[in-house]
Structure 1
Amino acid sequence: MNEDRNTTSRLLKGAAVLSLAAIVSKLLGTLQKIPLQNIGGDGVFGIYNTVYPFYTILLTLATAGFPTVVSKFVAERHALGEEAGKRAVLRIASVVMVALGAAGCLLMYFGAPLLAAWIGSSQLIPALRSAAPALLFVPLSASLRGYFQGLQNMTPTAVSQVTEQAVRVAVMIGLLFYFTGIGGSEAVIAGGALAGSAVGGAAGLAVMLLYWKGYRKRETTGRSGRKRGDSALAEVQPGPARDESVPALITVGKANADRGLIRELFRYAIPICLASLAIPLLNLVDTFTLPRLLNNGGDELRAMVEVGVYNRGIPLVQLVTMLASSLSVLFIPVLAEMNLRGDREGIAKQTGLALRWFWLIGLAASAGLALLAEPINVMLYEDNTGTGTFAWLAWTAAPGALVTITAALLQGLGVVRAPAVHLLAAAALKALLNALLVPRLGISGAAIAGIAAYAVAAALNLALLLRRAGLRPRLRDAAVRPAAAVLAMAAAVALLRLAGDAALPPGRLAALAESVLGVLLGAAVFAAAAVRLRLIGGAELAALPRVGPKLASALRKLRLLR
């Protein structure tokens, strides 16, 4: 019993460590785009955001799935006490991943001119080549992370992830200042920014190698005592007669075992990898369509500036989906356990609760970002260029949050492939709509295409999930009441903006005040309206950690909550 409790405690602690590291890493990765645009400008911002999805695709192909599979195989061999088996898994996985990473690096570096021609802009060549070396470091880090995760030691993964991201951002900002200071072109400055990925990858690998060195040292020290005890016994035990054919048999057996392990690694890793490719593929659609569609007059740099303006709103939308992604994983083990027990009532209750909360969070975020698009744009990027596109992009947060939570809930119910297929269909729709809308509407057309693509993926996931969970939501609860809460928030924020525009002089500080106050007021009004309209129950609100009981008590005193 104590052993089970200790195991559960280690798992919960490890999950908390990994979740915190993932949130910090994603925050750094998302927010670093703001100084990137501020220092480098929209042209550099456009080049960076055009190249980065392609780099992400190659990184996903080289690493996604393998850490999870390595951790699984290592955990199995660790439970059986097979030390040699654990090391064989790490050795083979490392060789495979380093080979894949090296292939990706060579493809990205030497194929940069051809890739830039396919995308439609020669401005991308320095950036593609600068990002390529990262693929030499990150795959080996991923295999080592999988090894330690298999031992239920999540700290090395967490520390290396945060170190990698922090070093990447620091180097990126330093090189941005350096190249802008010497008057480098937009292509060169963007290349410097992406060089941070390689330095960050090397730093993350260095951290993992330090943990590995310490682990091997402890293992060697632990075994040395046992070896001294065994050596005396070995001296008095008669050994078997020497068979010269044994080394050859061992070599053949080892080669066969290695090939079998490689097959098993790929058999488990490929489905995970394909599922992980879905969202990067959606972003890759813009990489391969926008530069060419926007480059009607032959001005490649101008097209990159437009791509940069288009990407202004994406970091904030990604913060919403990042929050949804971090919280959604909590539902997977709960639903998996209920599904195993056949608890249909519990599945329906948990699914309905998760869908309602994430729909409300996504809807409030989309409406709030759209209403405050202009002051947020000025606050973060100094001017209001592309505010209309920013507002359109904001409306991808709501369907994006639904895509994230529905995919997690389906995974908890054992449905893994369907969400990936739905996102692939969404990517195809995004490409088609980009081709139809961008020539007519410019970058706003790409934003509208994104709303449609995410909405289709969310609708497909939702239809399958409702059928599996046996849910039939009412239109009043799913649409009418949330719309009323959004209207209340919109009215409050609109009045605040009118008052702010009348009382404050135009500028970045005024935009900062208007944005912060607008977010706070909008969130408070939306939450109060949601409670008043019974979209959120008192028991649900009180169940929130720490702040929930106090908030519920305060709302009851104001007679907003029963």
Structure 2
Amino acid sequence: MSSLMKGTAILTVGMFLSKVLGLVYIFPFYAIIGQKNVALYSYAYVPYTIMLSVAISGAPIAVSKFVAKYNSLGDYESGRKLVKSGLMIMTLTGFLSFLALFLLADPIAHLVIKDEEQVFTVSQIAGVIRWVSFALIVVPFMSLVRGFFQGYDHMEPTAISQLVEQIVRIIVLLTGSYLVMRVFDGKAQTAVSFAVFSAFIGAVAGLIALWYYWRKLKPEFDLKLQYSVSSGQLSYKSIYREVITYSIPYVFVGIANPLFQLVDMLTFNTAMTNIGLAKVSDDYLGMLNFTTQKIVIIPVMLATGFSMALVPTITNYYTKNQHSALINAMDKTYQVLLFITLPAVIGISLLSTDIYHLLYSESAMGSSVLAFYAPVAILFAFFQVTAALLQGIDYQKWIVFSLLTGILVKLAINIPLIETFETKGAIIATAIGYLISITINMLVLKKALNYKSRLVIRRSILIMALTVIMAAFVIVAHKVLVILFGVAHTKMLALMYLVVCISIAVAVYAFLSFRIGLAQKLLGEKITKIVGKFGL
């Protein structure tokens, strides 16, 4: 058990650090290329992310699940059989995905560009899409190897390779774009093309890290293979049927947000052109799909990372038919999610002007989009958790249905809402699409488990009340700061306002939640002991 917990901790920390690095680099990159060029970067990364998810097809988790299953039976040969054939298949899949995205670059660009008044041309967008497509050759191959290591309970190779991949990518991205823009006085398109190509270079570095671990651990794998027992001759057809069954739900959960972004990417410029705003369309789409989205996703990462630790428990209780324990675990998952996410997104909305200024630049439009977009993060988090719960009780097919329904609704209402409310219309459409997907997921959970909980409703109302009190303190504190020092027109002043307001928000929310015992009930006994030392 201790080795299991250690491995899980290593993988979790590695993934968390990798995601944090994937957010932090955005801010210096923005400073290098400027607001008007971030849309060009996002035009490349949205289709790349979707194509990558399809190419990988949930390989790391699916392969690790398959290998772990047959290893537990002493059948080490089946896992090796999968990885040998899988490496060839993933190489082919990666190359075909690269070829597809490379060849589709022009059609995608034509779908995006709707007016000559837009900032970017078809050739510019097609160019950056082609440059990012090269990473698809390497990443699927790498993902399968990571899954194989995880199946043997070796989490360190995955964690380290992810970090190496991300660090190398960011170094190349920032150095390259800086040299192009500031040293050689080059074009923004060249800097963005180099930035997206860094995904390929980072992937190669991650693959080298995995090769190091493969050489190190291969004697152990070979030794176990010598003592392998047969669990029945598995055909390639049966092997891949099982792996695909594992992988499909993970694919859809992984591409949920990119699919919603893709709808915006393909329809936003059309709607903005229809109402005569083609000149600012690229700029606003960059704010929607890139700058504000990167901030909004932060509380989602924190909340789901914490609450998803409870999901394996769900699977265990469901398998053992322990219904009451299962319901209690679900209750706690929902409560923890709301407890962490709600105050975070409300805080981001209230302090959006200073946050956007500090991380990017002083922009009334950018801060307005961020303030309106932040609360939608709650829906992002709830979709991920309800989808994970459905996976835990083997209702995976409903994840596909709910997500596709939400996407279709978003697609149907996106243009009319953008024409009516401009950028906020796209956010409203996203919120409606996610609400429909979450509602379907929760209805399926309710029917499958006869789930209903007044406790969650009562606690949710309590969390909302605490958040309102916290928000009142933040509003008052910010107004006092503005009266004393004026509007924050410098990054240093914006930082000071954020430090003061966030400190007050955390202190108020923590004090109230500890004082009434809510935090202790949701976060466990260790929190209770820590709080007791402070006399709360």
Match of 2:268 in 1: 290
After superposition, the C-alpha distances for 1:326-368 in whole angstroms (9 at most, x for unaligned) are 2233112211222223222222222222212211222111211
Match of 2:378 in 1: 398
Q: Is the contact between residue 43 and residue 186 of structure 1 (CA under 8 Å) also seen in structure 2?
A: no
Q: 2:34 aligns with which of 38, 41, 56?
A: 41
Match of 2:470 in 1: 489
After superposition, the C-alpha distances for 1:70-124 in whole angstroms (9 at most, x for unaligned) are 2234335545555554432111111111111101111122321122112225131
Shift of 1:193: 1.4
Q: Is the contact between residue 328 and residue 404 of structure 1 (CA under 8 Å) also seen in structure 2?
A: no
Distance verdict in 2 for CA 1:424–1:30, change over 3 Å: farther
Q: Is the contact between residue 119 and residue 287 of structure 1 (CA under 8 Å) also seen in structure 2?
A: yes
Shift of 1:474: 6.3
Shift of 1:401: 2.3
Shift of 1:295: 4.2
Match of 1:140 in 2: 141
Match of 1:250 in 2: none
Aligned pairs for 1:101-500 within 5 A: 101-120=94-113, 122=122, 123-181=124-182, 182-216=184-218, 257-258=235-236, 261-295=239-273, 302-310=280-288, 311-386=290-365, 387-467=367-447, 468=449, 470-473=451-454, 477=458, 480-500=461-481
Distance 1:65 1:114 in 2: 27
Match of 2:518 in 1: 536
Distance verdict in 2 for CA 1:291–1:207, change over 3 Å: farther
Match of 1:23 in 2: 16
Distance verdict in 2 for CA 1:451–1:544, change over 3 Å: farther
Residue identity opposite 2:332 in structure 1: L
Aligned pairs for 1:74-85 within 5 A: 74-79=67-72, 84-85=77-78
Q: Is the contact between residue 300 and residue 377 of structure 2 (CA under 8 Å) also seen in structure 1?
A: yes
Over aligned residue pairs, what C-alpha RMSD do you find?
2.9
After superposition, the C-alpha distances for 1:461-481 in whole angstroms (9 at most, x for unaligned) are 334334525323269725543
Distance 1:553 1:50 in 2: 51
Q: Is the contact between residue 335 and residue 456 of structure 2 (CA under 8 Å) also seen in structure 1?
A: no
Shift of 1:322: 1.2
Verify: 1:87 aligned to 2:80, yes or no.
yes
TM, length-normalised to structure 2? 0.88
Distance verdict in 2 for CA 1:275–1:374, change over 3 Å: closer
Distance verdict in 2 for CA 1:446–1:540, change over 3 Å: closer
Q: Decide which structure has the larger Cα Rg and report it.
A: 1
Distance 1:372 1:404 in 2: 26
Shift of 1:536: 1.0
Q: Is the contact between residue 179 and residue 189 of structure 1 (CA under 8 Å) also seen in structure 2?
A: yes
Distance verdict in 2 for CA 1:503–1:329, change over 3 Å: same
Q: State the number of aligned residues.
A: 517
Shift of 1:378: 0.9
Match of 2:492 in 1: 509
Q: Secondary structure at the match of 1:12?
A: helix
Q: Secondary structure at the match of 1:132?
A: helix
More deviation, 167-176/63-72: 63-72
Q: Is the contact between residue 51 and residue 127 of structure 1 (CA under 8 Å) also seen in structure 2?
A: yes
After superposition, the C-alpha distances for 1:363-400 in whole angstroms (9 at most, x for unaligned) are 11121111001111111112123221110111112222
Shift of 1:488: 1.1
Residue identity opposite 2:136 in structure 1: L
More deviation, 384-393/476-485: 476-485
Residue identity opposite 1:292 in structure 2: T
Residue identity opposite 1:134 in structure 2: A
Distance 2:15 2:351 in 1: 28
Distance verdict in 2 for CA 1:456–1:297, change over 3 Å: closer
Distance verdict in 2 for CA 1:527–1:425, change over 3 Å: farther
Distance verdict in 2 for CA 1:272–1:143, change over 3 Å: same
More deviation, 522-531/357-366: 522-531
Unaligned runs of 5+ residues in structure 2 are 114-120, 228-232
Distance verdict in 2 for CA 1:539–1:139, change over 3 Å: closer
Q: Is the contact between residue 164 and residue 205 of structure 2 (CA under 8 Å) also seen in structure 1?
A: yes
Shift of 1:144: 1.0
Verify: 1:60 aligned to 2:53, yes or no.
yes
